Amino acid sequence: MTELSKPAYVVLGMIATGRRSGYAMSRTAKEATRHFWATSDGQIYPQLKNLSDDGFIEGERESQGGRERVVYSLTKKGRDALDEWLNSGAKAHYELRDEGLLRLFFAEELSVDQLRAQIDAMRTRHERAIEHLEDLRPRAGDMACAHLTLRYGLDLHAFSIDWYDRLDGELAEHDPDERAGDALRAINEVVSG
**Which residues contribute to the site for DNA (CB under 7 A)?**
5-7, 21-24, 26-27, 38-43, 45-46, 48-49, 64-70
Nearest approach, Cβ of residue 132 and DNA (Å):
16
- The yes or no reply on residue 4 touching a second copy (CB under 8 A) is no
> Strand, helix or coil at 134?
helix
Of 23 and 163, the one with the shorter C-beta distance to DNA is 23
Amino acid letter, residue 125: R
Quick check: 181 and 109 in contact, CB under 8 A? yes
* 189, amino acid identity: E
| Shortest spacing between CB 192 and DNA, in angstroms | 26
Smaller CB distance to a second copy: residue 71 or 110? 110
Q: Which residue lies nearer to DNA by CB, 42 or 193?
A: 42
Binding map of a second copy across residues 147-166, x = CB under 8 A, - = no contact? xxx-xx--xx--xx--x---
> 60, 55, 47: which is closest to 20 by C-alpha?
60
Task: Please tell me the total number of residues recorded for the chain in this structure.
Answer: 193
What whole-number distance in Å separates Cα of residue 79 and Cα of residue 11?
12
As measured in angstroms, the least distance from the Cβ of 34 to DNA is 8
Do 82 and 74 touch, CB atoms closer than 8 A? yes
Count Cα neighbours of 124 within 13 Å in the Cβ-side half-sphere: 6
Axis crossing angle, helix 180-192 with helix 112-136, rounded to the nearest 10: 70
Task: Give the interface with a second copy as residue ranges (CB under 8 A).
Answer: 6, 9-10, 13-14, 16-17, 32-33, 35-38, 82, 85-87, 89, 91-110, 114, 117-118, 121-122, 125, 129, 142-149, 151-152, 155-156, 159-160, 163, 167, 180-182, 184-185, 188, 191
